[in-house]
Amino acid sequence: MAKKKTRCYIYIRVSTEMQVEGFSLDAQRDKLIKYAEYKDYEVVREYCDAGKSGKSVTGRPQFMQMMGDIETERDPDISFVLVFKLSRFGRNAADVLNSLQTLQDYGVNLVCVEDGIDSSKDSGKLTITVLSAVAEIERENILVQTMEGRKQKAREGKWNGGRPPYGYNLDVKNSYLVINEEEAEVVRIIFDKYIHTDMGAESIASYLNEHGYKKNKHFPRDLDYFGTSTVKRILENPIYNGKMAYGRHTMEKIKGTRDQYRRVDCDDYMVVDGVHDAIIDDEVWRTARLKHAALGHKWEKRYSLEHEHILSGLIKCPVCGAGMTGSVSRRINKQTGEYKDDFYYRCHSRKKYDGEHFCSFRKTFNQKKVEAEMKNLISLFTWDRQSKEFISQMMKDRVDIERLEQEKEQLMAKLKQVVGSKNKLTEMQDNLDVNDRHYNRKYADMSNRLEDLYDKIDEIEQSIDNIDITLEEATAQKVSAKEIYKILANFDKIYDNMEDIEKKKFFHTLLEKVEVHDTREKQSDGIIKKVVFKFPVFIDGQLADTVMLTKKSTVETICLFENRG
């Protein structure tokens, strides 16, 4: 009776298209099959992960399939898993040891043919434990050394790669920043307005856009106008004071995972003198930071959490013309102890509106009343088919949010690819033979390539950050055509079911400003005097961007005429 053969699986893996001689899939397979023939083992199944990193088992589908087959005992009496080297089985010590324990729980041992390791022997178990730990430590040391090199570059005040910040150009040959005078002038205006006026980031962005300042577009996705986020980033970046900051962001491991990370902001980071010229001086920088510290605390609502002042800023004071903002009058029921909030719009401006006089308008407008009037006004033209078609066409020219999101997905995929290349190169560096007479040169070449890959990672991450800013600014200023058209097409049905935040977004997209009557003078009825739209609308068959309301609440339109001669 023939003796029953020992049954085994073989597992092969490569992590880079630039396969080192002797590590290719075919070379590994040939070596393992010859070993099985020599030992008279029966190869039951082959598992192959091509182009997969050994950093974590979760990124290797065939490895996970093999472990699942062992746990479900798909093939009875499997005694061994054959691999070419331990590094092919895994490079994370915890993964290697956990996977090895799983194998042995089901009576399966690991054989690393090239390393001469057999886990069925006590010496083999010890060797696997030591080598897997050493491999992981070496990989981490390489990462630390590479990052330390970048940190040292920052200590020297040099630019660490990626697109230069607004206000500077990059001298590629010498790797340092040089001032872009046209953009630097805008940076100076931003700091000047922030320090010497009561304007915040949003108001400064509006000022720049209204006065014709444009940003250069490096990519088609970029916006050429200024947004709040851009202004905030400029005000918070010490690079404009001639400093170089390092470590403002870091990669934080996501809890509950082994190899998933997210980018987070750091409060404590290194700031050193840069080799580049400053755009603003120390006094301006200190003053801006002091103002930010005094005003930059986060305000949190404690009452009426669902309420939004939906027309805040759109309604203009009839005396000084400043945007009126929301206020609340809170009353308590002495019997029940419950609070009741009444909301108003009022002028909070304390600036001299004509160079001599402060605003004296202290009257308030009940929010429910003025918002009800606005709802009735919008209802007057939402039934008009021409108006709906015209608005839909106008909104098509707005920023394509979906295109930006698709571009971000492409960059995320590219980032994943570059990070994968970096991991693969690190693994190849791990596998260098110290006895190779070219070891030092190969190690140095790979270290230089790693530095280049880290530069690419920085550049891609910065591009993703820029897209996030673009999306934030575009979304803040614009609502998609589909959303606006859907609301206008079904206004009477949808409006009452919208949340306050959705109403606010809708009105701020649709309207330029709302003028109200001066309530110091007696009015027969009605609060709203005039409404100016951000783009023309059709009312009673006429194209207009301004609607006047008389004291009797009837509508008059100011028409637009176009010379086609």
Q: Is the pLDDT of residue 294 over 50?
A: yes
Q: What is the DSSP letter of 323?
A: B
Q: Which whole number is the average pLDDT over 463-475?
A: 69
Distance between CA atoms of 343 and 32, rounded to whole angstroms? 78
Summary mean pLDDT of the chain: 77
Q: Grade residue 549 by pLDDT with cuts at 50, 70 and 90.
A: confident
Percentage of the chain modeled with pLDDT above 90: 14
Q: For residue 46, which of 59, 63, 21 has the smallest C-alpha distance?
A: 63
This prediction has a pTM of 0.39
Q: Grade residue 111 by pLDDT with cuts at 50, 70 and 90.
A: very high
Q: Grade residue 565 by pLDDT with cuts at 50, 70 and 90.
A: very low
Helix 481-489 vs helix 367-382: angle between axes, to the nearest 10 degrees? Answer: 90
- Which is more confident, 113 or 332? 113
Quote the tokens at residue 502: 């959705």
Q: Tell me how far CA of residue 222 lies from CA of 79, 209, 287, in angstroms.
A: 59, 15, 31
Q: Tell me how far CA of residue 166 lies from CA of 212, 244, 281, in angstroms.
A: 17, 14, 17
Instruction: Dump the DSSP string for 441-486.
Output: HHHHHHHHHHHHHHHHHHHHHHHHHHHHHHHHHHHHH---HHHHHH
What would the pLDDT profile of 232-249 be if each residue is shown by its tens digit?
889 988 999 988 887 766
Percentage of the chain modeled with pLDDT above 70: 70
**How much is the pLDDT for 472?**
64
SS3 per residue for 285-310: HHHHHHHHHHHCCCCCCCCCCCCCCC
Q: Tell me how far CA of residue 365 lies from CA of 104, 185, 311, 555, in angstroms.
A: 77, 41, 11, 21
Q: Which whole number is the average pLDDT over 529-537?
A: 81
Q: Is the pLDDT of residue 269 over 80?
A: no
- Distance spanning both ends of the chain, measured CA to CA: 106
**How much is the pLDDT for 562?**
39
What would the pLDDT profile of 114-159 be if each residue is shown by its tens digit?
888 888 887 777 777 776 666 556 556 655 665 666 677 667 777 7
**How much is the pLDDT for 260?**
56
Q: Grade residue 53 by pLDDT with cuts at 50, 70 and 90.
A: low
Distance between CA atoms of 212 and 202, rounded to whole angstroms? 16
What would the pLDDT profile of 329-377 be if each residue is shown by its tens digit?
877 777 777 777 889 998 877 666 666 777 788 888 999 999 999 988 8
Alpha helices in 478-531 (DSSP H): 481-489, 491-494, 500-510
Least confident of 49-63, 155-169, 280-294, 338-352: 49-63
Least confident of 34-43, 190-199, 303-312: 303-312
Q: What is the DSSP letter of 559?
A: E
- Which is more confident, 563 or 311? 311
Q: Grade residue 525 by pLDDT with cuts at 50, 70 and 90.
A: low
Q: How many Cα atoms occupy the beta-carbon half-sphere of 547 within 13 Å?
A: 27
Here the contacts of 402-408 (C-beta below 8 Å, separation 24 or greater) are 403/221, 404/221, 404/467, 404/470, 404/471, 404/474, 405/471, 407/221, 407/467, 408/464, 408/467, 408/468, 408/471
- Which is more confident, 94 or 201? 201
Q: Grade residue 87 by pLDDT with cuts at 50, 70 and 90.
A: confident
